[in-house]
């Protein structure tokens, strides 16, 4: 497992660009809410720690992870944003539902990244067990929300650097 080699919350603070001018959208799934709220908390705390104003973080909730793509697109179309983060958690069950949801969200966010001029950040946990999800939502392996926020800042800076 890749997370065993990289703690999700470990990064060099000084390597993160200034984020004080960023406007960030976050769409978060209500499904597996005990996990997704921790991801959201991690993302918001990390964004604020790097200078993003609370008023420039626009959070919207959708019912499930499959709806993250639609929610992310709607945020991009109705708010003036520099980046959108999608946060969710899918835990494998006894049916192929897991595979379809994970594949749909992956393809959907990839498509949004190709259609829009702002980055859409993939913050979807895909785990086999609830414990694995907890370990990646502020537990043993850090918080995927932190990682998504750092990626958002760096990708928004990447886009900004191309416009200079």
- What are the residue numbers of the active site? 97
| H helix runs in 50-96, sequence order | 68-78
Which backbone phi and psi does 80 adopt, to 5 degrees?
-90, 100
Three-state secondary-structure class, residue 52: coil
Residue (of 64, 106, 107, 55) closest to 89 by Cα position:
64
- Tokens 């959208």 locate to 25
């Amino acid at each position: 497992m890749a997370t065993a080699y990289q703690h999700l919350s470990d990064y060099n603070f000084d390597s993160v660009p200034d984020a004080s001018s960023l406007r960030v959208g976050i769409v978060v799934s209500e499904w597996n809410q005990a996990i997704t709220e921790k991801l959201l908390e991690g993302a918001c705390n990390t964004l604020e720690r790097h200078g993003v104003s609370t008023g420039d973080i626009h959070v919207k909730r959708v019912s499930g992870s499959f709806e993250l793509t639609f929610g992310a697109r709607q945020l991009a179309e109705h708010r003036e944003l520099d980046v959108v983060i999608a946060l969710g958690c899918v835990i494998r069950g006894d049916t192929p539902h897991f595979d379809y949801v994970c594949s749909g969200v992956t393809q959907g966010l990839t498509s949004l990244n190709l259609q829009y001029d702002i980055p859409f950040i993939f913050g979807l946990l895909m785990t086999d067990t609830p414990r694995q999800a907890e370990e990646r939502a502020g537990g043993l392996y850090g918080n995927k929300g932190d990682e998504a926020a750092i990626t958002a800042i760096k990708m928004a800076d990447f886009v900004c650097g191309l416009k200079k």
